[in-house]
Amino acid sequence: MPELRTVGALVTWARQSLVQAGVSNGAQEAMWLLEHALAVRSHQLVSQTDRLVSPDARNQVESLVARRVAREPLQYLLGTQEFCGLEFSVTPAVLIPRPETELLIHQVISYVTSRSESTIVDVGTGSGCVAITLASRLNGQRILAIDRSSEALAVATTVK
């Protein structure tokens, strides 16, 4: 493994590692992983290539890249997923919100707005993306989100 002491060296190594491993969109994912691990914006990765990186930060980047090469979902590594314009926490305790589920949101909104009183129950809420999105769009509607997993409920109550 090359000497990974600078931001630029880490960017190059992470991109090569993910692309060689066949990770779809590996070059972009490398940037997202480095932004996350180093707590910087993408422009800083490009403009500060000579900046030295601490051993702890380097180890974190190496760990994230290794986990992604092993095909751990990017969303679990970053800890978030966008859904209907909102950012949700995700961990392996919950399913990753899918774009297809956004169709459900639109259907529920259409259905509920034609009724005077409704109670919406989100059984198996997981990340809470359905219940929270509906609550943000349906003011005054009663929404109950339940899950048998205490780990999932902990994720659902984490605000991003």
pLDDT in tens, 128-159: 999 999 999 998 789 999 999 999 999 999 86
pTM for the model? 0.88
Please name which of 106, 154, 105 lies closest in space to residue 126, comparing C-alpha atoms: 154
Across the range 29-51, mean pLDDT stands at: 94
Is residue 76 predicted with pLDDT exceeding 70?
yes
Is residue 1 predicted with pLDDT exceeding 60?
no
**Residues β-bridged to residue 86:** 83
Q: What is the pLDDT of residue 28?
A: 97
35 touches 28 (CB < 8 A): no
Q: What is the spatial distance between Cα 11 and Cα 37, in angstroms, rounded to a whole number?
A: 12
Q: What is the pLDDT of residue 4?
A: 75
